[in-house]
Amino acid sequence: LAKTTQPISMDSYEGQEVNITCSHNNIATNDYITWYQQFPSQGPRFIIQGYKTKVTNEVASLFIPADRKSSTLSLPRVSLSDTAVYYCLVGGWNAGNMLTFGGGTRLMVKP
Amino acid sequence: DAGVIQSPRHEVTEMGQEVTLRCKPISGHDYLFWYRQTMMRGLELLIYFNNNVPIDDSGMPEDRFSAKMPNASFSTLKIQPSEPRDSAVYFCASSRSNQPQHFGDGTRLSIL
């Protein structure tokens, strides 16, 4: 399973756009890129998933360059409630969606 | 829609006791996963099932840990005997094939 590298922590202010970049140099051809969000005392929650180019949903956007060796999660106009740990994962759809979680990025949104 | 349901939410017990954690996956999901989360090691996959059959248990720390899935709507993770180093938050997740995993809110386990 491809290893991921992402910043340990980030700070932002309410209303700003936040971009969290994840490196996955060893991503395999059949690997997807998935981002999860985790609040204290809760399980991780699926945010967005993509394979290449750009994916957007009601919560976030995911940008994936052509070489797929990195990806960027974009959170538009964050609020205090977006303070959480964000995990980037890569994995294929074989092996039952096995996921390897890295250390995640702890995002702190300040007023 | 009901999500993944785990019980108990909190468990405090003494070293050497048997601990049983329970999980009810989302109806219709054919994959079930057990994870453990600690500050030191982060989120680790312990075992996962497909159609109630254990597929990969390579993440199970040792023989003191066992997991079962007697039917599509119920799974248990058992630790016997428990040790203080087993203290962690244990998460259960479920998914359909080729779909993202949905996690429960976990069981916070403290072994004294």
Dump pLDDT digits (tens) for B40-85. Answer: 888 899 999 999 999 989 899 889 999 999 999 999 999 999 999 9
Q: State phi, psi for A95 to the nearest 5 degrees.
A: 50, 35
**Per the CB < 8 Å rule, is B91 touching A43?**
yes
Q: CB of B93 within 8 Å of any CB in chain A? A: yes
The pLDDT confidence band at residue A39, using thresholds 50, 70 and 90, is very high
Residues with Cβ within 8 Å of residue A36, at least 6 apart in sequence: A44, A45, A46, A47, A86, A87, A89, A101
pLDDT in tens, B93-110: 999 987 888 999 999 999
**Per the CB < 8 Å rule, is A46 touching B55?**
no
Q: CB of A99 within 8 Å of any CB in chain B? A: yes
**In the prediction, which pLDDT does A97 show?**
57
**In the prediction, which pLDDT does A100 show?**
74
Q: CB of A49 within 8 Å of any CB in chain B? A: yes
Could you tell me which chain B residue has the CA closest to the CA of A92?
B98
**Per the CB < 8 Å rule, is A44 touching B100?**
no
Per-residue pLDDT at A42 exceeds 90: yes
